[in-house]
Amino acid sequence: MSIHGILGEQTTDYPTQYSPETLYPIARSIGRDVIGWQQHKLQVGMDWWHAFEMSWLNLQGISQVAMARFSIPATSAYIVESKSLKLYLNSLNFTEFANWQQVQTLLAKDLSACVQAQVSVELIALDDMQSGLLIIEPEGTSIDDALAECADKVALTLHPDASLLKAGSDNSVNKQPPVQHSVSFYSNLLRSNCPVTNQPDWGTLAVTMTSANTVAHADMLRYVLSFRQHNGFHEQCVEQIFADLSQYFQPSELMVRAWYTRRGGIDINPCRVSDLSLLPKPSRLIRQ
């Protein structure tokens, strides 16, 4: 009797020796070409990756464990395919290092070479209660119940539908200067599919925006739900949302970020902003 069930007979070979060649780069231009909107504006931000299965050997051959944060600038030419990152990290499990700094330096070198940009690496001890991996709550108002009173059923769409965003304007008939509003909201219902494996990716989306155009929570939730069958990398989904909100609401300030749930011991947290001064601190949520 097979023990593989619906997964079939496929297995993955995990390297037991240091293997930087397993890191597989994917050009950011692939996702940005699909979006087709001012690529330079999609390069302002950061992708924070958290790895919870970091391990290597000290010079006594004793396993060491830690958590890690990789900060990848949105200006990098490439992202790293997440399964290849898991294989790479596992290849360090039986490699000896004299200290944590050696591990951190090697990780930064290999990841920077893969994405063709300077990647910052932090190793975090499991008992470091003051670390940036403490759990926070998203800011703003949840929009997840915005359709609770609507009678119509939300349709499944194959691709994100920006037409669901119905931007309103506060411009009055006497041509007074538009009134800018600052809003913050979030949804735990962001879902998309990995373009490599077709596995579902779940995340929490947060938006902070200053605009003269009003944001209807019901319309925004319909838009978020339109991603449910979309095949897109985490970074591309956040950039698509950033581009659509930029075009529909013409904000003077905009931040779009997502905290995706963990797969393979790794979670990915992209953030795009209209100006680097708006970049928040990296963080994680309770579902991660």
Q: Is 144 known to be catalytic?
A: no
- pLDDT per residue as tens digits for the range 254-267: 999 999 999 999 99
Residue 3 has pLDDT above 50, yes or no: no
Instruction: Please give the pLDDT value at position 168.
Output: 67
Which residues, other chains included, contact 208 with Cβ-Cβ below 8 Å and sequence gap of 6+?
139, 140, 182, 183, 184, 253, 254, 255, 278
Which residue type does 130 have? Q
Q: Is 201 known to be catalytic?
A: yes
Alpha-carbon gap, residue 144 to 4, rounded angstroms: 37
DSSP 175: -
Q: Which H or E run includes 29?
A: helix 28-35
Q: Judging by beta carbons within 10 Å of its beta carbon (0-12, 13-18, 19+), is residue 132 exposed, middle or buried? A: middle
Task: Enter the pTM of the model.
Answer: 0.92
- pLDDT per residue as tens digits for the range 84-93: 999 999 999 9
pLDDT bucket at 78, cuts 50 / 70 / 90: very high
DSSP bridge partners of 57: 63, 96
Our separate counts of H helices and E strands in the chain read 5, 12
Residue 278 has pLDDT above 60, yes or no: yes
Taking phi over 0 as left and psi of -120 to 50 as alpha, with beta for the rest, 175 belongs to: left
Catalytic residue among 201, 219, 244, 267: 201
* Cα–Cα distance list, 139 to 46, 131, 148, 186, 217 (Å): 19, 20, 21, 7, 15
User: How does the average pLDDT of the chain come out, rounded?
Assistant: 92
Residue 55 has pLDDT above 70, yes or no: yes
Task: Tell me which of 196 and 81 has the higher pLDDT.
Answer: 81
User: 3-state class of 255 per DSSP?
Assistant: strand
pLDDT bucket at 10, cuts 50 / 70 / 90: low
Catalytic residue among 144, 161, 170, 194: 194
Residue 6 has pLDDT above 60, yes or no: no
Alpha-carbon gap, residue 236 to 239, rounded angstroms: 5
- pLDDT per residue as tens digits for the range 125-183: 998 877 768 899 999 999 999 999 888 999 899 999 999 998 766 554 556 667 899 99
Lowest mean pLDDT among 120-134, 189-203, 235-249: 120-134
